[in-house]
């Protein structure tokens, strides 16, 4: 769990919102059940069975209760979980293969991706982006997971190995989290050309798994979702492909694949990142998704989340026979499958979800976890936790520090300073007199001893961390950065875009990003 939560978000009122019950969703159409983001312990609490063999008939559902007591879960103030139980037959751990796509070079997230793959970018003080889809899989009883990577994958491989390699498998489930890097072969001399091409290049391996569905996920999204309900909807509707979808406003709609659906949730039209007249043509009445009229006017589009459940046979047919040269799922395979009459279904998700593709989106997503009384995304969900590497770090130490509305990671040393509305990553060192506000500090990969810090300072060097009397505002400080004394990183000239890599920083959307391992000399003003 995240380290220390300062005033505000940690002391959430546990009774802000009443618990949702299973009765709320029992009568809703299958494709509208997506905003229930369920329990990691569901398989032990119910005897529901959604059979994959239930063609042409609606599967029966039964639930058992624990005596006269109802199951207690975190309210939505802390958790996005609804109290709805879902069980699959065969169970997800045996019938579903998770495939997480590591993404491209991550140029829009540069310089955070200068030395690491996009899914390996640190998140929320203690975590990395890849921990989100992997944790969602584990909480959804999906234990067979491949992660496809291509760019700067060393730190990602190391993190996955340390975090998950020793605790996923068992004699019965044979669980694993394995990295598959892009490779050349006599049949295919090219690197991954896109999402569909990446899956195609490893189809020979995926088809060896005795599973019924492939769950295709992205490695750079922030959300909490019970994939078992997603898979249940896929099986209930006898779909070939099921696409996770969410309502979207016009401002952001051009960045997504948009769709139109019928009354049964079947996708009738799909357009990837449309603009102009094509965008307006994809406008729909989103009250069909259960939105009230006001929200429907604000969000008149249905957008794809880039998350898919694909039946194994359908995947083989699509990538090998129907579209053997298609490179991308969103722009080629999904529209193509719709056009040839395959059963392509939508599945509504109406919880918090963020595509962390830009510096601004990444900054806002991290700072969003400090909001009070309810953060945008909570790492405090007891029923569906976010897992990560066990680092065995000591508790953070704060000496005469004034910390408000902030999240502090493990193993930090914070001296007489002010921290306001910020996220402070693990092993961070913040010296006396410093002011940190509206900032994201990623911390460090290692400690420097007191002797090493003193020796550096005596020689005119700069130790890792934030120096004395420095001021950091609306900025991202990447790992192992050395910020000298009396440095001001405040974007005093309100510059929106600047590339100063030789000086150790970039500015994108007005946010200063200090590069990993960079040195900012004492007295510098940015």
At residue 39, the pLDDT reads 37
pTM of the full predicted structure?
0.83
Distance from C-alpha of 173 to C-alpha of 292, rounded to nearest angstrom = 43
Q: State the chain's maximal CA–CA distance in angstroms.
A: 78
pLDDT surpassing 70 at residue 132 = yes
Residues 327 and 363 reside in one and the same domain: yes
CATH code for the domain in which residue 249 is found: 3.90.550.10
At residue 7, the pLDDT reads 42
At residue 441, the pLDDT reads 98
Residues 365 and 401 reside in one and the same domain: no
Q: What is the DSSP letter of 65?
A: -
At residue 149, the pLDDT reads 86
Residues 364 and 435 reside in one and the same domain: no
At residue 286, the pLDDT reads 87
Q: What total of structural domains would you count in the chain?
A: 2
Distance from C-alpha of 374 to C-alpha of 16, rounded to nearest angstrom = 9
Residue 246's domain spans which residues? Answer: 92-370
Domain final residue pick, 370, 389, 409: 370
Residues 340 and 192 reside in one and the same domain: yes
At residue 382, the pLDDT reads 87
Please answer whether residues 447 and 453 qualify as being in contact, where contact means their C-beta atoms are separated by less than 8 angstroms: no
The DSSP code sequence of 390-417 is ---PPPPEESS-EEES-EE-TT-EE-S-
At residue 185, the pLDDT reads 66
Distance from C-alpha of 123 to C-alpha of 133, rounded to nearest angstrom = 13
Mean pLDDT for the stretch of residues 439-455: 94
Q: How far is residue 422 from each of residues 4, 108, 364, 482, measured CA to CA in Å?
A: 12, 23, 11, 18
CATH code for the domain in which residue 454 is found: 2.160.10.10
Mean pLDDT for the stretch of residues 347-369: 92
Q: Average model confidence (pLDDT) for the chain? A: 83
Please answer whether residues 520 and 480 qualify as being in contact, where contact means their C-beta atoms are separated by less than 8 angstroms: no
Residue 388 in domain: no
Residues 355 and 451 reside in one and the same domain: no
């Amino acid at each position: 769990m995240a380290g220390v939560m300062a005033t505000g978000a940690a002391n959430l009122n546990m009774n802000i919102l009443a618990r949702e019950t299973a009765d709320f969703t029992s009568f809703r159409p299958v494709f509208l059940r997506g905003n229930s983001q369920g329990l990691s312990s569901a398989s032990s609490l119910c005897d529901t069975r959604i059979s994959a063999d239930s063609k042409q008939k609606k599967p029966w559902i039964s639930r058992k209760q624990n005596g006269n007591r109802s199951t207690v879960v975190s309210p939505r103030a802390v958790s996005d979980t609804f109290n709805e139980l879902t069980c699959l037959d065969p169970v997800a751990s045996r019938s579903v293969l998770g495939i997480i796509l590591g993404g491209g070079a991550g140029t829009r997230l540069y310089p955070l991706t200068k030395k690491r793959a996009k899914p390996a970018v640190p998140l929320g003080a203690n975590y990395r982006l890849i921990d989100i889809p992997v944790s969602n899989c584990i909480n959804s009883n999906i234990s067979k997971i491949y992660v496809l990577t291509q760019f700067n994958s060393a730190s990602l491989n190391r993190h996955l190995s340390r975090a998950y390699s020793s605790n996923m498998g068992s004699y019965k489930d044979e669980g694993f989290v394995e990295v598959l890097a892009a490779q050349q072969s006599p049949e295919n001399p090219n690197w991954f050309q896109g999402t569909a091409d990446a899956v195609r290049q490893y189809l020979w391996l995926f088809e060896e798994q005795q599973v019924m569905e492939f769950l295709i996920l992205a490695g750079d999204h922030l959300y909490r979702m019970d994939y078992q309900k997603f898979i249940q909807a896929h099986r209930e509707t006898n779909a070939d492909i099921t696409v996770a979808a969410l309502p979207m406003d016009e401002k952001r709609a051009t960045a997504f694949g948009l769709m139109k659906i019928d009354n049964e949730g079947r996708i009738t039209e799909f357009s990837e990142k449309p603009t102009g007249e094509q965008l307006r043509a994809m406008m729909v009445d989103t009250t069909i998704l259960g939105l009230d009229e006001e929200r429907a006017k604000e969000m008149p589009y249905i957008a794809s989340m880039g998350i898919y459940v694909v039946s194994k046979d359908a995947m083989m047919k699509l990538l090998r026979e129907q579209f053997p040269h298609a490179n991308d799922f969103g722009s080629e395979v999904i529209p193509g499958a719709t056009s040839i009459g395959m059963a392509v279904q939508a599945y509504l998700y109406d919880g918090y979800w963020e595509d962390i593709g830009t510096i601004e989106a990444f900054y806002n997503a991290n700072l969003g976890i400090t909001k009070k009384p309810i953060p945008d995304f909570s790492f405090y969900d007891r029923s569906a936790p976010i897992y990560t590497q066990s680092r065995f770090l000591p508790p953070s130490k704060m000496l005469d520090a004034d910390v408000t509305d902030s999240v502090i990671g493990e193993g930090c040393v914070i001296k007489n300073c002010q921290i306001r509305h910020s996220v402070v990553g693990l092993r961070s060192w913040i010296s006396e007199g410093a002011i940190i506000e509206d900032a994201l500090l990623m911390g460090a990969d290692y400690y420097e001893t007191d002797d090493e810090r003193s020796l550096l300072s005596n020689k005119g060097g700069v130790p890792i961390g934030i120096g004395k009397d420095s001021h950091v505002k609306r900025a991202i400080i990447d790992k192992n950065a050395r910020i000298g004394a009396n440095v001001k990183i405040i974007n005093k000239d309100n510059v929106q875009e600047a590339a100063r890599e030789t000086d150790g920083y970039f500015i994108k959307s007005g946010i200063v990003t200090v590069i990993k391992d960079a040195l900012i000399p004492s007295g510098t003003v940015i």
